[in-house]
């Protein structure tokens, strides 16, 4: 990390465009501004954070070319401030996404006290803020999980009893002419079934009972999940494109629960395309991560920035009749398998979900051992 003292001491060399080696590998964004308020130099990290190109920025007035970042950010470029050092934390929006940044401004003065320029050091805090939010979410999930388990336990027993009595009444009316009564009972059974499914999701969310088995064929699991979901959702108007990698390594997993996680994601994707659309399901091996990847992409209307960031919050939903547990349950199951889920907007339209799962494959482990032995001999 570049310190303020290092930048101050190397003002002359850093501010020259021809000396960029150390400058460009700095983890923080750095911008040099001259006494007229024009940009003298900008490193790659600052280009990324500010969404500007060096060739377009150098020589231009800083406040003019960076005005898209907002007034609070531009306060860091004031040459009129009496303070020698200014610190500022703010949120900026770049390409529809929010970045949380910390900005330090150092005033560079000549020996006679006149201002020679400014050094702006920008630190992207987004990853740190995301990590803090993840910790807070995990703590909330643990509390909600305990609550959900308690609620599900107390609801499930009387629900089973009610369902049994209703089914018994339906059986008795089968040979009668009480069509109205039969319809009412069928509606009640459907509602009980809906509540029962909700209870099952609450139990899965609270603590999925993972029972892993070796050598689970992921492609077969995907095929079955697609078949079940397609039938349940009546997805005749949706085109299915499959690109499943051949010879995909087997994984160690609870096949039933992992299939449920995939079905939850598929149901969300199909819900996003009520009229028609294209659902693409892919699988491949990510050798560097030693993981298999599932990608599920839809061509629906997509999610807003707020909905994307809150998609894994329990009970958050954009559907009128949704519980908001589908994706949180899927994430919980995948996490229990040592994997993770990434949700993002599709390049054209719709949403894409990537599921990463670790490989438990003896062949891969053997190759690693052999490679290490070869390295030891060198």
> Per residue in 230-252, pLDDT tens?
877 666 778 889 999 988 888 88
Residue 65 pLDDT more than 80? yes
Specify the pTM.
0.51
Q: Higher model confidence: residue 52 or residue 27? A: 52
Residue 366, pLDDT score:
46
357: tokens are 């799962």
Q: What is the pLDDT of residues 299-333, one digit of tens each?
A: 888 777 777 777 777 676 766 666 667 788 888 88
Residue 276 pLDDT more than 70? yes
Q: What is the mean pLDDT of residues 349-355?
A: 89
Q: How far apart are CA 318 and CA 208, in angstroms?
A: 25
Residue 39 pLDDT more than 70? yes
CATH class of 213-364: alpha beta
| Confidence band of 64 (pLDDT split at 50, 70, 90) | very high
Q: What is the mean pLDDT of residues 331-345?
A: 85
**pLDDT > 70 fraction of the chain, expressed in percent and rounded:** 69
In which residue are the tokens 């990853």 written? Answer: 127
Residue 377 pLDDT more than 60? no
Residue 3, pLDDT score:
47
Return the sign of the alpha-carbon dihedral for residues 80, 86, 90, 95: positive
Residue 282, pLDDT score:
94
CATH topology of domain 130-206: Helix Hairpins (1.10.287)
Closest Cα to residue 202, out of 119, 129, 144, 271? 144
Q: Name the β-bridge partners of 284.
A: 293
Closest Cα to residue 113, out of 59, 35, 40? 35
| Confidence band of 182 (pLDDT split at 50, 70, 90) | low
Q: Name the β-bridge partners of 352.
A: 297, 344
| Confidence band of 135 (pLDDT split at 50, 70, 90) | low
Residue 172, pLDDT score:
67
Segments making up each domain of the chain, as ranges: 4-124, 130-206, 213-364
Please give the radius of gyration of the chain, using alpha carbons only, rounded to the nearest integer: 28
Average pLDDT, the chain: 77
Residue 154, pLDDT score:
60
Q: How far apart are CA 221 and CA 295, in angstroms?
A: 14
Q: Are 222 and 283 in contact (CB under 8 A)?
A: yes
Q: How far is CA 108 from CA 10, 29, 32, in A?
A: 11, 18, 10
Q: Compute the residue count for the chain.
A: 378
Element (H, E) at 243: strand 238-244
Q: What is the mean pLDDT of residues 33-59?
A: 90
Q: What is the pLDDT of residues 138-151, one digit of tens each?
A: 566 666 666 666 66
| Confidence band of 126 (pLDDT split at 50, 70, 90) | confident
Residue 343 pLDDT more than 60? yes
Q: What is the mean pLDDT of residues 215-221?
A: 90
Residue 298 pLDDT more than 50? yes
Angle between helices 218-232 and 255-271 (to 10 degrees): 50
| Confidence band of 292 (pLDDT split at 50, 70, 90) | very high
Residue 106 pLDDT more than 90? no
Q: Name the β-bridge partners of 293.
A: 284, 356
Q: Name the β-bridge partners of 85.
A: 106
* In this structure, CATH architecture of domain 4-124: 2-Layer Sandwich (3.30)
160: tokens are 């089973």
Q: What is the pLDDT of residues 259-271, one digit of tens each?
A: 989 999 998 888 8
């Amino acid at each position: 990390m570049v310190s303020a003292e290092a930048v101050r001491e190397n003002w002359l060399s850093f501010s020259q465009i021809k000396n960029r080696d150390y400058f460009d590998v700095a983890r923080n964004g750095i911008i040099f501004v001259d006494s007229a308020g024009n940009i003298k130099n900008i490193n790659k990290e600052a280009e990324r954070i500010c969404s500007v190109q060096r060739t377009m920025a150098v020589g231009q007035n800083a406040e003019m070319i960076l005005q898209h970042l907002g007034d609070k950010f531009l306060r860091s470029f004031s040459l009129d401030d009496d303070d020698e050092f200014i610190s500022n934390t703010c949120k900026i929006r770049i390409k529809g996404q929010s970045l949380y940044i910390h900005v330090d401004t150092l005033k560079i003065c000549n020996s006679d006290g006149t201002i020679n320029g400014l050094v702006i050091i920008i630190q992207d805090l987004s990853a740190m803020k995301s990590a803090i939010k993840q910790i807070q979410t995990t703590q909330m999930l643990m509390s909600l999980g305990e609550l959900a388990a308690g609620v599900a336990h107390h609801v499930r027993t009387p629900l089973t009893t009610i369902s049994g009595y209703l089914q018994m009444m339906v059986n008795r009316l089968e040979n009668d002419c009480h069509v109205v009564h039969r319809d009412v009972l069928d509606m009640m059974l459907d509602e009980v079934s809906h509540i029962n499914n909700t209870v099952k999701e609450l139990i899965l969310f609270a603590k999925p009972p993972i029972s892993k088995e070796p050598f689970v064929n992921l492609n077969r699991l995907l095929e079955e999940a697609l078949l079940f979901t397609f039938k349940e959702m009546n997805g005749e108007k949706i085109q299915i494109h499959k690109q499943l990698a051949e010879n995909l390594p087997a994984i160690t997993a609870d096949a039933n629960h992992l299939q449920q996680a995939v079905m939850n994601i598929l149901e969300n994707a199909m819900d996003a395309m009520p009229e028609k659309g294209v659902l693409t399901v892919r699988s491949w091996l990510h050798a560097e991560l030693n993981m298999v990847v599932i990608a599920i992409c839809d061509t629906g209307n997509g999610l807003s920035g707020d909905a994307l960031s809150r998609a894994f919050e329990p009970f958050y939903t954009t559907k009128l009749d949704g519980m908001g547990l589908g994706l949180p349950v899927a994430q919980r199951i995948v996490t229990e398998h040592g994997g993770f889920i990434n949700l993002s907007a599709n390049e054209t339209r719709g949403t894409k979900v990537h599921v990463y799962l670790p490989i438990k494959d003896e062949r891969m482990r053997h190759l690693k051992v052999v490679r290490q032995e070869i390295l030891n001999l060198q």
